[in-house]
Amino acid sequence: MHATLLDLIKSIDPYVYPSNPLVHPRDNARMTPFHLVIGNHHVDPPILPIGHIHPTILIDMLAYNVETVGESFTFYPAMGPRPESAVLRAVKAVAFSYQAVNRGKDALTGIIDGLVDFMRKRGTVPEDKYGPNEERFAMYASPRSTHFEGKVLGPMRNAVATVARSRSGFFGCATFGVKAILYEGEGEGMRIWVQVRGGKLNQSSWGGQYDVTANGALPAGLLPLEGIVKECVEEADLPAEFCAANLKLTATASYWMIAKEWVRPHTT
C-alpha cells in the first residue's frame, strides 16, 4: 500500500490525540465530566458535558466549593470530609449548583472567574498576564441539557457562561476559531493571499511562518461570520462590507488541544 500525505503528517505530528476524553493522553489521569447541572450526568443516552476536568483542577473546585459554602458546584456522589486521594477516586461528575444555574449566566461567569482567581492564589494556574480586557470564550452546555427542557434555543443560546481565553483549557470547554483564505482567479492562474505571522521564528505561536489570509479566535457573543469579518478587517485591512458579501463557508476542522492539565476540543 502506498503512503499518503496523511501518513506523512502522522509521522511528524508530535501530539497524542485522546481516543477517550475521560483519560488524559499524557499522564493517564482520569478526567471528570463537568456538566451544567448534575442531572445531566444521569440521562440516557448520555448528555455531552461542558468539558472534562483534570484531577489537579478538581481538587481546587472541591476546595473552592468549601470556601463558597457549597453555592458553586455539585459533585456526584456528594462529597463529605475525606482524604484527597479518596475524593478523586470517588467523584464521577461535577456540575454547577442548581442555585447558581438559576441565577443565570452572569452568576456562573462570576463563579468561573472566582475559581480561576482562587486557583491562581493557590499556584495551580499562572499569574494573569493579559489583564481584564482579555478576550473571553463562551462555555456551551449541550442543548439536550435538562435545564433547557421545554425551552426553544436560538443560535448560540446554549452559552451558559464565559471564561478568559487563556483559562478556558482548565475547564475542557469547546472553543472555536475562524479562518479565511482570499484568492483571485481560477485554475493555474489562481493566486492566494497568505500572510507571514508576526513574532520570532519557532516560537509556540509559529512566528515567521506562512499562514492563511486572516484568522483568529471566536470570542463570546460573535457568530462565525461576524468573527471572520472582524479578523479580515483587523489583519488584512479589508472593508467589512466586501468581506460580508463575499466570504463563503467551505469547511470546518475539529481537533483536540492538549496541555499538561487539560484537554479541550477546538473547531475552526
What tens digit of pLDDT does each residue of 10-36 get? 776 655 565 666 888 888 899 999 999
pLDDT beyond 90 at 133: no
Dihedrals phi, psi of 93, to nearest 5 degrees: -160, 155
pLDDT beyond 80 at 82: no
Alpha-carbon distance of 52 to 50, in angstroms, equals: 7
Q: What is the pLDDT of residue 156?
A: 77
Domain termination site, one of 149, 173, 197: 173
Dihedrals phi, psi of 145, to nearest 5 degrees: -55, 140
pLDDT band at 251 (very low <50, low <70, confident <90, very high): confident
Q: What is the pLDDT of residue 13?
A: 66
Kindly give, in sequence order, each residue whose CB lies less than 8 Å from that of residue 178, ignoring residues fewer than 6 positions away: 215, 216, 217, 218, 224, 227, 228, 231, 268
Q: What is the pLDDT of residue 260?
A: 85
**How confident is the model over 119-146, as a mean pLDDT?**
88
**How confident is the model over 159-181, as a mean pLDDT?**
94
Answer yes or no: is 259 within a domain.
Answer: no
pLDDT band at 120 (very low <50, low <70, confident <90, very high): very high
Same domain, 114 and 236: no
Same domain, 41 and 158: yes
Q: 34 is written with which cell numbers? A: 463537568
SS3 content of the chain, % helix, strand, coil (to 5): 35, 25, 45
Alpha-carbon distance of 119 to 124, in angstroms, equals: 5
Q: What is the pLDDT of residue 21?
A: 65
Q: DSSP letter at 23?
A: B
Dihedrals phi, psi of 161, to nearest 5 degrees: -165, 175
Q: Which amino acid appears at position 14 of this protein?
A: P
Same domain, 104 and 43: yes
Chain-wide mean pLDDT for the chain?
Answer: 88
pLDDT beyond 80 at 218: yes
Report the phi/psi class of residue 171: left, alpha or beta, with left for phi > 0 and alpha for psi in -120 to 50. alpha
**How confident is the model over 130-158, as a mean pLDDT?**
87
Domain that holds residue 46: 21-173
Percent of the chain with pLDDT over 70: 91
Q: What is the pLDDT of residue 207?
A: 82
Same domain, 108 and 205: no
For residue 266, CA distances in Å to 153, 256, 257 come to 22, 6, 7
Domain termination site, one of 155, 173, 191: 173
Answer yes or no: is 260 within a domain.
Answer: no
pLDDT band at 128 (very low <50, low <70, confident <90, very high): confident
State in Å, rounded, how far the first CA of the chain is from the last one.
32
Domain termination site, one of 158, 173, 188: 173
pLDDT band at 202 (very low <50, low <70, confident <90, very high): low
Alpha-carbon distance of 60 to 63, in angstroms, equals: 5
pLDDT beyond 60 at 51: yes
Q: How many residues does the chain have?
A: 268
Q: How many CA atoms lie within 13 A of 220 on its CB side?
A: 20
Answer yes or no: is 4 within a domain.
Answer: no
Same domain, 135 and 120: yes
Residue whose entry in the numeric block shows the C-alpha cell 453555592: 71
Task: Give pTM, 2 decimals.
Answer: 0.86
> Total structural domains in the chain?
2
Cβ atoms 61, 115 nearer than 8 A:
yes
Same domain, 198 and 76: no
Same domain, 168 and 191: no
Q: 33 is written with which cell numbers? A: 465530566
Answer yes or no: is 151 within a domain.
Answer: yes
Q: DSSP letter at 201?
A: B
